[in-house]
Structure 1
Amino acid sequence: MSQSTSTQRITALDYARAWAIFGMIIVNYKLAMEAEDDGSAWLRVIASLFEGRASALFVVLAGIGIALMTAKARSSLDKNLIRQNRKSLYKRSVFLLVAGILLLLMGWNADILHYYAVFMLAASVLITVSDKKILGLFVVILIVSQVGLIVFDYGKGWDASFHEYADFWTLSGLMRNLFFNGFHPIFPWLCFFLIGMWIGRRRLLEVGYRPKVLLYSLSGTVFFEAVSYFLIRWTSGTLGTSATSAVLDQEAAYYFFTTKPMPPTMLYVLSATCSAIAIIAISQYVVHKLENSRLTQAIIHTGQLSLSHYIGHVVIGLGFLEVIGYLENGRLSFAVAYGCVYFIFAIIFSYIWRKWMKRGPVELIMRKL
């Protein structure tokens, strides 16, 4: 029997969330193994496509999920229901903060969960805020973040490779990392969460909007990537066949106009937002056409266990390599292959687990607490 449109929309989000997890696994394994180059140019290109995109998709999906979760409280303005939703978000925030800190203490510097804790707190405040104000806050944070890249030293605290943060466990270092120059700083990563909330509120995931959403998001991705390419080449004086007068040196041009996640420029946020929305729209099409496929259902289940898989790919996946002494091997081909194998096992585990349990292992612990 076919799922209802509403259920199908939710499962499409789970389907997209699974692919976000896959992308994060590839990026994080590449980072943890310090795998930069082993001669495979095509592999470098494929791996680089996930950088900052998978995690941005993950945060956008979180924003959409929170918007759907709080929809009834927002529409009814029932004070008791709003209070219950806020209490639930507070508890999630505390759980994610503790989980994130434990991963950080284990040496996982690229953790996203402690940032998620702040996103949950922001969501609790924004439950009854209007859609226009949500969008306005998105714009303000985007502009402030870009100005911050000009005014402040983005590299402060980082080593030359941007792998280790020297003063993370000091108050100033922690705040700087959390709000400005960490792997997923509040400025501007809260933008992804806000745009997700806005999309969830505006019901842009309905069937009637799907073609336009896909067209506009794909077009937006191409447009912002083209703008980035043009501005970097033009300001650095490398546009065209003959050299033009340079406004900035090549490193500064890349710093201000890149669409890579570090530093997180305005163009990066806009391009990654568009690509995230495009993947969500494509996921809706796939689930609509192939919802009864075992593989599709298994991938959906994987997305439903996303928190378990995020923690698992660090604790189990990287932990195993640490035990056998093969963690910092530096081989990109191994990092990608290992990530793919881990994700396949994650899909199999999710399919089997969901036959017996409604929620994943970590999700169950969070629900109990």
Structure 2
Amino acid sequence: MSQAKERITAFDFARALAIFGMIIVNYKLAMQAESGGSAWLQAIAGLFEGRASALFVVLAGIGVALMTSKARNSMNGELIRQSRNSLYKRAAFLFIAGVLLLLMGWSADILHYYAVFMLVAAVLITVSDNKILGLFSMILVASQLFLVMFDYTKGWNLSFKDYTGFWTIEGFIRNLLFNGFHPIFPWLSFFLIGMWIGRKRWLNKENRSKVLLYSLSGTVVFESISFFLVKWTSPVLSNEAATYLFGTKPMPPTMLYVFSGICSAVAIIAICLYVVDKFENSLLTQAMIHTGQLSLTHYIGHVVIGIGFLMTVSYLENGSLSFAVAYGTVYFIISIIFSSLWRKWMKRGPIELIMRKWC
């Protein structure tokens, strides 16, 4: 298998893992499941929070970088125009899909944020690597400053489930840019670093072990910095304020959370490269790759079908973590089986086919 093909299928494998993590986190959120599970189950479920989505967004950035590489490398005006138009159309499609999910009551949607990422990517096709890193840094610094300058809780109720004034212009923009589930500041940083990584040769076979070592080390370092900063500043700021400024949970998304999330995402991608390289022909690996190739279908499906079913049977807000994890795991297994069967007949998933015709 060529390195390019291996890299792409490894990214699909990683997308499948990201989808699994997002399903667990989103079902836990939808069911308000904070209890009903052992300590180890709570710890495992907590590991996915903000990490699965971060992995998903980093992979999106890498994917866009690979998709537009021919236009960027050739600097052919027509190719650049075609790539931009394709990204504009994808942005429109994802925005409409995201708004439809929001109208269905799914407040944690990520697709309408993705739409903005695609618009930014269209503008940045011909921009240098250094400028992308510069924009990444600016967004990260601005995001941390915004946490100090503005009220992060504005619009949210105490449980961070309902957002007052979301459908007003002010509320929608505030949620989109600052204090939604995946706000542009700083979530665009994940996408930009993905674009930057996608332009590099970091993930080639000869660099893989270094990337894995550095990314795992980075995760430990940033989590440790967070832990000690919270511990040392708590007596002065209060534990709540220290966690707000230096924690590594996705809400609020601090600078340390972004750095830790990037490192953990890159580590998982590197591990996926090893797995696909060694076990490419196994049925499970192929099934996971096919699941990742249908990631947009599964993202929409886990909301419309998975959560929709629980709403229909009036069992959505049951509050049991054990049930949320079990239900999410079963749903993901069904998704794997569906993906394997579907890919025998069709190259793209149902939603991917619709988007392909649109774009």
Measured after TM superposition, the shift of residue 37 of structure 1 is 1.3
Measured after TM superposition, the shift of residue 340 of structure 1 is 0.3
Q: 2:294 aligns with which of 302, 305, 308?
A: 305
Rounded Cα–Cα distance in structure 2 between residues aligned with 1:39 and 1:71: 46
2:307 maps to 318
Rounded Cα–Cα distance in structure 1 between residues aligned with 2:96 and 2:44: 33
Q: 2:144 aligns with which of 146, 159, 165?
A: 146
Measured after TM superposition, the shift of residue 205 of structure 1 is 1.3
SS of 1:36's equivalent in the other structure is coil
Q: 2:285 aligns with which of 296, 305, 313?
A: 296
- Range moving further from structure 2, 39-48 or 72-81: 39-48
SS of 1:111's equivalent in the other structure is coil
1:49 aligns with 2:47: yes
SS of 2:160's equivalent in the other structure is coil
Rounded Cα–Cα distance in structure 1 between residues aligned with 2:348 and 2:357: 11
SS of 1:95's equivalent in the other structure is helix
1:117 aligns with 2:115: yes
1:10 maps to 8
Rounded Cα–Cα distance in structure 2 between residues aligned with 1:39 and 1:77: 55
Corresponding letter in the other structure for 1:58: F
- Range moving further from structure 2, 261-270 or 201-210: 201-210
Unmatched tracts of structure 2, length 5 or more = none
Q: 1:98 aligns with which of 66, 89, 96?
A: 96
The count of corresponding residues between Structure 1 and Structure 2 is 358
Note the 1:183-262 alignment, pairs <5 A: 183-236=181-234, 246-262=235-251
- Contact preservation (8 Å) 2:37, 2:322: no
1:268 aligns with 2:268: no
Corresponding letter in the other structure for 2:69: A
Measured after TM superposition, the shift of residue 39 of structure 1 is 4.7
Measured after TM superposition, the shift of residue 203 of structure 1 is 2.1
Q: CA RMSD in A?
A: 0.5
SS of 1:110's equivalent in the other structure is coil
Q: 2:318 aligns with which of 299, 317, 329?
A: 329
Rounded Cα–Cα distance in structure 2 between residues aligned with 1:220 and 1:64: 20
Measured after TM superposition, the shift of residue 206 of structure 1 is 1.0
1:36 maps to 34
TM-score between the two structures when normalised by the length of structure 2 = 0.99
Corresponding letter in the other structure for 1:359: R
Moved over 6 A (4+): none
SS of 1:309's equivalent in the other structure is helix
* Cα deviations by residue, 1:267-286 (Å, 9 ceiling, x for unpaired): 00000000000000000000
Corresponding letter in the other structure for 2:158: A
* Cα deviations by residue, 1:23-77 (Å, 9 ceiling, x for unpaired): 0000000000000112521111000000000000000000000000000110110
Measured after TM superposition, the shift of residue 178 of structure 1 is 0.2
Corresponding letter in the other structure for 2:89: K
- Contact preservation (8 Å) 2:102, 2:109: yes
Q: 2:339 aligns with which of 322, 338, 350?
A: 350
Rounded Cα–Cα distance in structure 2 between residues aligned with 1:298 and 1:43: 26
Note the 1:152-171 alignment, pairs <5 A: 152-171=150-169
Corresponding letter in the other structure for 2:309: F
Rounded Cα–Cα distance in structure 1 between residues aligned with 2:202 and 2:343: 29
Corresponding letter in the other structure for 1:85: S
SS of 1:139's equivalent in the other structure is helix
SS of 2:4's equivalent in the other structure is helix
Rounded Cα–Cα distance in structure 2 between residues aligned with 1:84 and 1:212: 36
Note the 1:43-82 alignment, pairs <5 A: 43-82=41-80
* Cα deviations by residue, 1:156-213 (Å, 9 ceiling, x for unpaired): 0000000110110000000000000000000000000000000000121111111110
Rounded Cα–Cα distance in structure 2 between residues aligned with 1:62 and 1:73: 18
Q: 2:276 aligns with which of 283, 287, 305?
A: 287
2:266 maps to 277
TM-score between the two structures when normalised by the length of structure 1 = 0.96
1:243 maps to none
Unmatched tracts of structure 1, length 5 or more = 237-245
1:241 maps to none
